Chain A
Amino acid sequence: QQPVQSPQAVILREGEDAVINCSSSKALYSVHWYRQKHGEAPVFLMILLKGGEQKGHDKISASFNEKKQQSSLYLTASQLSYSGTYFCGTGGHNNNDMRFGAGTRLTVKP
């Protein structure tokens, strides 16, 4: 079953922050975050494995609330290069059936 993402689209000015949410009706063993630019393959951002885990690099970070079956991606002080569609992916215990949410289209304007 596909995870649910929100919002569907976000428009930001450079330097502004955004939060993208991902939730599932099934138990989550891991949450993956990917960014896809138009016409390109998805690019891996990070995986969260444990409830309460938080990760980040540069100004992109994520959290995972296992109990609530939710994850959030935080983009801080956004840059033009952050534009793209962000997908969360969730899989079963062995990660063998990863499914993606519908995506959040992020546009960062100068």
Chain B
Amino acid sequence: DAMVIQNPRYQVTQFGKPVTLSCSQTLNHNVMYWYQQKSSQAPKLLFHYYDKDFNNEADTPDNFQSRRPNTSFCFLDIRSPGLGDAAMYLCATSRVGSGTEAFFGQGTRLTVV
């Protein structure tokens, strides 16, 4: 059974048109992450939540926002997608603490046209 679910799997959006990606988890994990992964590159951390505490990476563009209304759900909002934002977006969760693995969703592949 999928424990971290991302919707949709594929998203096509127009240049400049706001888009929202969603992630839900059934693991009750405190920590949720959003990563951006471009072709043949490592997943790049955009931000993470520890419960409701939001932590933005210094180099995450302002164009990217996130919301976590409750433990189970987390959203990634791209306010004005550019062609350079086309990528796979991965959501992951973990319990707090250094001994815990991260569980990844299947990802949402975003195409900007």
A2, A47, A87, A95: the one within 8 Å of B96 (CB): A95
Interface residues on A, range: 20 to 34
What are 6 inter-chain pairs, A to B, with CB distance below 8 A? A94-B96, A94-B97, A95-B94, A98-B33, A98-B92, A102-B41
Size of the chain B interface, CB-CB below 8 angstroms: 27
Q: How far, in whole Å, are A91 and B99 apart by their CA atoms in the complex?
A: 10
Which residue of A has the minimal Cβ distance to B105? Answer: A41
Distance from A73 Cβ to chain B, minimum over Cβ atoms (Å): 15
Say yes or no for B12: interface residue by CB 8 A criterion. Answer: no
Q: Please, how many angstroms separate the alpha-carbon atoms of A31 and B66 in the complex?
A: 27
| Contact (A40, B99) CB under 8 Å given A98-B45, A99-B45 | no
- Does chain B have a CB within 8 A of A81? no
Enumerate A57-110 residues with CB–CB distance to B below 8 Å: 87, 89, 91-103, 105
